[in-house]
Structure 1
């Protein structure tokens, strides 16, 4: 499993994880109160500048994670173009890319263990109600760690299909991709079980 943390260290790496997640929440929430396409366009440009400041390698690493948004961008733009609401479509796209870009930026500059510590602090009062914060912490860690792995395996399946056929893969790789995902989930479950699962973690 791999991490989304950037190989290039920036000043933001030394900021508190709680501060970065708090600012991310406030800024993302605030974006939905502004409907100006000009504002969102300028804000997206600001996000791009944030990615560019640490250098080309950091920018390339961030773009690798953001380029998966293009199908959604295309779908939203085409839909609003047909509905003759292009300005609204651009506003939605700019807002979406900005929000995901900022979230990815926080992930790239924050260690997973630090983010888990913030989640643990936030959910500590819920332990009195019987809530097990370890389950949520583990779920977050697995999603962040496994998502890039599944994306990579999906790309490998698509390349394997192209090597064997002139037709587009499309829905044909859904079944083998599902089998791969289930197989990975089974291996992770066995690994957790071998280490005592959540029960052992709770006792620690």
Structure 2
């Protein structure tokens, strides 16, 4: 899930978060059962149609967040072209696009607090095994919140490279991007410690 709740209201905003997450799981399993690129293309077209239903702004916003998949698509495409497994590569790319788009669609139409409520209810039985539900909730919320932030910083990094060099950035920005991600993680950890850590969050 790579975006936050969309300000464009849709009917799906009122659907239960648990039902949407369960539907996402079922749809993802179905995607892995389809091995035909034609079938995967049809699914992706259907997902694109779901994005288009709420209007042009919702469609553009949702598709914009999928740009972070471009490097992965490029690597998969080059590898499968080199190995001669074009149909398999196309199936993998289409499946990845559909799965991430569906997950993004759920996130765009579901409040973070509602999703955390679902996680909390699912994690209750695991507390008997020593798992702290509040830690799991926070970890998932941080992943959802920080992924688009990191994607934006990665895009800015690629733009900075393009402004200084005629060559494609490619693998050359992996190291600086990793340093940026680690630096952000360090700042988040310091912020948590400054607020008393997970125990303070639990009390609040």
For Structure 1 versus Structure 2, the TM-score category normalised by the shorter chain is 0.7 to 0.9
TM-score (norm. length: structure 1): 0.88
Partner-residue secondary structure (3-state), 1:59: helix
* 100-109 or 162-171, which deviates more: 162-171
Cα 1:96/1:182, change in 2 over 3 Å: closer
| Matching residue of 1:178 | 178
Closer/same/farther in 2, CA of residues 191 and 160 from structure 1, 3 Å limit:
same
Per the alignment, residue 189 of structure 2 pairs with 189
Shift of 1:147: 1.5
Pick which of 32-41 and 101-110 moved more: 32-41
Structure 1 residue runs without a partner (length 5+): none
Q: Report the equivalent of 1:56.
A: 56
CA distance 1:88–1:173, change in 2 (3 Å): closer
2:121 is aligned to: 121
Q: Compared with structure 1, are the counterparts of its residues 89 and 161 closer, same or farther at alpha carbon in structure 2 (3 Å cutoff)?
A: closer
Moved more, 138-147 or 169-178: 169-178
RMSD of aligned alpha carbons: 2.2
Secondary structure at 2:110 match in 1: coil
Cα distance in structure 1, aligned partners of 2:3 and 2:41: 30
Distance, in Å, in 1 between the alignment partners of 2:11 and 2:135 is: 31
Q: 1:79-158, aligned counterparts within 5 Å?
A: 79-158=79-158
1:57 Cα deviation from its structure 2 partner: 0.5
TM-score by length of 2: 0.88
Q: Taking structure 1 as reference, are residues 8 and 184 closer, same or farther at Cα in structure 2, changes over 3 Å only?
A: same
Residue 18 (structure 1) shift: 0.3
Distance 1:176 1:97 in 2: 26
Counterpart secondary structure, 2:50: helix
* Alpha-carbon shift at residue 173 of structure 1 (Å): 3.9
> Are 1:46 and 2:51 an aligned pair?
no
* 3-state SS, counterpart of residue 7 of structure 1: coil
The alignment partner of 2:35 has SS state of coil
| Aligned counterparts of 2:84 and 2:202: Cα–Cα separation in 1 | 55
1:115 deviates by 0.9
Is the counterpart of residue 37 in structure 1 residue 37 in structure 2? Answer: yes
**Residue 74 (structure 2) aligns with:** 74
2:20 alignment counterpart: 20
CA-to-partner distance for each residue in 1:81-134, whole Å, 9 max, x for gaps? 333332222222222211111111101111111111111100001112211011
Aligned residues: 203
**Runs ≥4 residues deviating over 6 A:** none
